[in-house]
Amino acid sequence: MAAVNPAFWAGKRVLLTGHTGFKGAWAAIWLSRLGAEVTGLALPPDQKPSLFELAGVGELIRSRFVDLRNGDAVAATVGGGAYDIVLHLAAQAIVRASVEDPIGTFETNVMGTAHLLEALRSQTDLKAVLVVTSDKVYANAETGRAFRETDPLGGKDPYSASKAAAEIVVQSYARSYFADRAPVATVRGGNVIGGGDFSRDRLVADIVRAARAGETVTLRHPEATRPWQHVLDCLAGYFRYAEVLATDPAAPRALNIGPRPGGPAVTAGELASLGVAALGGKPWRHEPDPNSIEAKALAIDASLAREAIGFESRLDAPEAVALTMDWYRREAGIETARALCLEQIEGYEARS
């Protein structure tokens, strides 16, 4: 399987949206290590602590605080630079938050994507644009079958629907404005875990908060299955996909990045048990939420990534949980967040 190519990224001018979020902060640290010239575009961090601040991400890259819902501000910021690669990670990414604020979620995830693509029309040096959507873009009847890239899009909650709608926005812009200029594609990542995620309503973050406070974490759906993957596996897939998009005209324009095909399904309860044991926390407790509209079963088929771009995740769920909890355990001591991220990135690269 192909690894991330440092020679490709060295000196590349990269526009990274969402760099103040969990996954975006990891991406900024890794891209900086690879020698890319990164400009981040996002809202300021909306939580404390945040990996962006803990790891001093603003010291590594050029950081621009912009609301994607403001088309004029996006155009002015993007127009102030020239970029080779665009990685669009910024989003309102919490399902329950989307239920509470559907309009804000659609404004960010749909119109925010449209505003970015509109601003990129003036860029002349683009090699590839990769828009991150979600494993939740598929019309999910909860049969347990893993979704492939050719399956119908849908979404019964505002978050899922907004990401499915973003897929259609990307397709329309790609065909209408970028067909003869640069490939524009979407990538559908799995449920990502890793050190430095302190978001609301995220399983690992909830486990860590409960363990640090000596409390019991509660699960709404311990039986729910998700395509869990470590943030480094997910980002490695994104980076590899961008490399192929920029160099191979035959690259697919939509791709799942998830756990290795054929791997075992892991429930939220099983993942929580691993996490609680690693941190020495109290056993989790089940508190059903009868009003929840979250899917109980979700799996994606990542075999096309292996076939088309030579990428496959390297970490299974227990390894991903162990690496994640090791980060939190050591960060609670005297080790710095950036040093821990760099150590885990180096360890991941050495597995190739």
Using CB atoms within 10 A of its CB, is residue 125 exposed (0-12), middle (13-18) or buried (19+)? exposed
Summarised one tens digit per residue, pLDDT across range 168-197 is 999 999 999 999 999 999 999 988 999 999
Residues 13 and 82: beta-carbon distance below 8 Å: yes
Using CB atoms within 10 A of its CB, is residue 121 exposed (0-12), middle (13-18) or buried (19+)? middle
Q: Is the pLDDT of residue 140 over 80?
A: yes
Summarised one tens digit per residue, pLDDT across range 308-317 is 999 999 998 8
CA distance 159 to 165: 10
Q: Is the pLDDT of residue 46 over 90?
A: no
pLDDT at 264: 67
CA distance 91 to 110: 9
Q: How confident is the model at residue 32 (pLDDT cuts 50, 70, 90)?
A: very high
**Rounded mean pLDDT, 95-100:** 93
Q: Tell me what percent of the residues of the chain surpass a pLDDT of 90.
A: 83
The pTM of the full predicted model, rounded to 2 decimals, is 0.95
pLDDT at 266: 80
**Rounded mean pLDDT, 92-116:** 96
236-240, 260-264, 294-298 — which is least confidently predicted?
260-264
pLDDT at 74: 98
CA distance 184 to 254: 9
Summarised one tens digit per residue, pLDDT across range 249-294 is 999 999 999 988 766 678 999 999 999 998 999 999 999 887 777 7
Q: Is the pLDDT of residue 26 over 90?
A: yes
Alpha carbons within 13 A on the beta-carbon side of 8: 18
